[in-house]
Structure 1
Amino acid sequence: MTAAPAELVFTKRSVTHSLRNIDSLVTAIVAPVAIMLLFVTVFGAALDTTVGGAYADYVTPGVMLLCAGFGAALTATSIHTDVSKGFIERLRTMPVRASGVIFGHVFASVLRNLASTAVVMLVAVALGFRPTASPAQWAGIAALLAAYILVFTLIAAAWGLAAASVDSAGMFSFIALFLPYLSTAFIPVENLPDFLEGFAAHQPVTLVIESLRGLATGDPDAGTTLRAALWLAALGAAATVLTVALFRRAARR
């Protein structure tokens, strides 16, 4: 089996495992949808004045990232399971690149989480989300979401390789779920406690959310989008280097 077909086989394997893991699949979609329903239907009327417009338009980009990040974080558990159960070690005795398993997990995560994010967006439209983006801006939204999912998946891959147990690998899901709450996902930064404002204003999740919000409303800010792209590029490069190093360390065990 050549390297390229092997990558595709492992991608298909990862997607198949995701579809069979009903609990994780439902959680990755239902949790963000439930959060969307909660904030828009319960708190939306009260928060419309806080955000200066329809709350559904404000909150949707943040919930999309919450969905994407949480789904990508599940990769940590999948990769740790493959390592701990010896699946990757068995591949080393075969004419297949064992690193293709990591590629399969990463690529499948991007595909899977783009689909689940699209579901969240459809729910948001049903709740009143009215984007005014042009076709080019929609392409920017898709590219930014894909980059965010890729970066979070790479970080999750490194976390899964470094984790000592399945439980510790699963902890990354809580981090991914928690980060959007410390951003402008749900309320503007000036409405956060003073000690959180600095972090929330400059952390990468906020920059990506504000970029998506600007693109969705047809009024993107080039500076914010550039800073978001630079953050994602830096985090992605660091996560890639760390994943490669941890994978090699795992091979020497």
Structure 2
Amino acid sequence: MTTLSYAVSDSATMLRRNLKHALRYPSMTVSVVAVPVLILLLFNYVFGGALGAGIGGMSTGGTRYIDYIAPGVILMAATSGALATAVGVCVDKTEGIVNRFRTMGISRGSFLTGHVVGGVIQTMISVALVIGIALLMGFRPSATPIEWLAATGILALLALALTWLSAALGLVAKTPETASNTPMPLQFLPFLGSAIVPPESMPTGLRWFAEYQPFTPIIETLRGLLMGTPIGNSAIAALAWCLGLSLAGYLWARTAFNRGAKV
């Protein structure tokens, strides 16, 4: 077998390990799905009437507001998945499993690859569940199959970027508790974007931040693909942010792993 073949085989083994672990201990996955679902329920049924009335052209019944909020909450499902990867990597590190793998004749990159690919798979399953619940609540996207495919690609690319960042955070965290807290800004940032309300409704300073932070162009791209709203330059910015974050997370995670991040 070639070096590449060994790397692929070892990565597949690590992927199976992580997926089996997720099946045996599903509490983390359930909590990751529960957060965006609760946000969707809260903002649509509790705040939807007031917020929908405050956004031009929306009725106070909340039905149309869910069409606005659903793409943002679907993105939050992708950000919530980062938590599980950070905790999983940190647990393996603190329990000495990473050091054990270092002494074995396996590909050095397989450990991180298994965690990242497994994390992306779990995240996309969570995204699908949130989409299903949004549809049950009245979300009515107008996307064509091609637009759904493009939206899925954007979400998968975002999940990959955030999972690499989370793997790095898990490697540098001292404890699993710390690892569970460090991805929190990733989950909070969509609230400071266009997920819940348009940036135009925010104060000047916050509006400027909302317009130029990473998640707003991604949300607007998803909203445009799913609901037919104008996308403009958001798609280019969304791809640039996803690719940039993926590269930064990969390089950081690889450097932390090679240095043997100390517990």
The two structures share one fold, judged by TM-score above 0.5: yes
RMSD, aligned α-carbons: 1.8
Q: 1:48 matched to which residue of 2? A: 52
Aligned to 2:9: 5
- 1:129 matched residue in structure 2: 139
What 5-or-longer segments of structure 2 have no aligned partner?
A: 59-63
Structure 1 equivalent of residue 210 of structure 2: 200
**Alignment pair present for 1:89 and 2:93:** no
| CA–CA separation in structure 2 for the residues paired with 1:184 and 1:167 | 30
Q: Stretches of 4+ moved more than 3 A in 1?
A: none
Q: What is the aligned partner in structure 1 of residue 221 from structure 2?
A: 211
| Separation in structure 2 between the aligned mates of residue 111 and residue 86 of structure 1, nearest angstrom | 25
Match of 1:23 in 2: 27
In structure 2, relative to structure 1, the CA distance for the partners of 1:93 and 1:141 (3 Å cut) is same
- Equivalent in 38, 41, 47 of residue 42 of structure 2: 38
1:64 and 2:74 are equivalent in the alignment: yes
SS in 2 for 1:139: helix
- Whether the 8 Å contact between 1:91 and 1:97 is mirrored in structure 2 is no
Q: 1:17 to 1:193 in 2, by over 3 A?
A: farther
Q: Distance in 2 between matches of 1:154 and 1:85?
A: 21
Match of 2:61 in 1: none
Q: What SS does the aligned partner of 1:17 have? A: helix
Q: Deviations over 1:142-191 (max 9, x none)?
A: 00000111000011111111112222211123222211111110011122
Q: Which moved more, 1:1-10 or 1:148-157?
A: 1-10
CA deviations over 1:39-63 (Å, ceiling 9, x no partner)? 1111222222333331111101111
- How is 1:64-213 mapped onto 2 (pairs within 5 angstroms)? 64-213=74-223
Please tell me whether the aligned partners of residues 7 and 103 of structure 1 are also in contact (alpha carbons under 8 angstroms): yes
Deviates more, 1:193-202 or 1:100-109: 193-202
Aligned-partner Cα distance in 2 for 1:177–1:95:
37
Q: Distance in 2 between matches of 1:180 and 1:231?
A: 14
* CA 1:162–1:66: 2 relative to 1, 3 Å: same
Change in CA separation of 1:199 and 1:251 when aligned onto 2, cut-off 3 Å: closer
Q: Which amino acid aligns with 2:178?
A: S
Q: 1:173-216, CA deviations, whole angstroms, 9 ceiling, x for partnerless residues?
A: 32222111111100111222333111111111111001000000
Structure 2 CA distance for aligned equivalents of residues 241 and 177 of structure 1: 22
Q: Percent same amino acid at aligned positions?
A: 36
1:26 Cα deviation after fit: 1.6
Q: In the TM superposition, what is the alpha-carbon distance from 1:222 to its structure 2 partner? A: 4.5
Q: Distance in 2 between matches of 1:72 and 1:37?
A: 22
Query: Is the contact made by 2:70 and 2:134 (CA closer than 8 Å) also made in structure 1?
Result: yes
| 1:69 to 1:203, Cα distance in 2 relative to 1, 3 A | same
State the alpha-carbon separation in 2 of the partners of residues 47 and 252 from structure 1.
47
Check conservation: 1:68, 1:117, Cα contact below 8 A.
yes
Partner AA of 1:11 in structure 2: L
Looking at structure 2, the residues matched to 176 and 148 of structure 1 have their Cα atoms a distance apart, in angstroms, of: 11
Which ranges in structure 1 are unaligned for 5 or more consecutive residues? none
SS at match of 1:74: helix
**Distance change >3 Å, CA 163–CA 251, structure 1 → 2:** closer
- 1:68·1:113 contact (CA, 8 Å) conserved in 2? yes
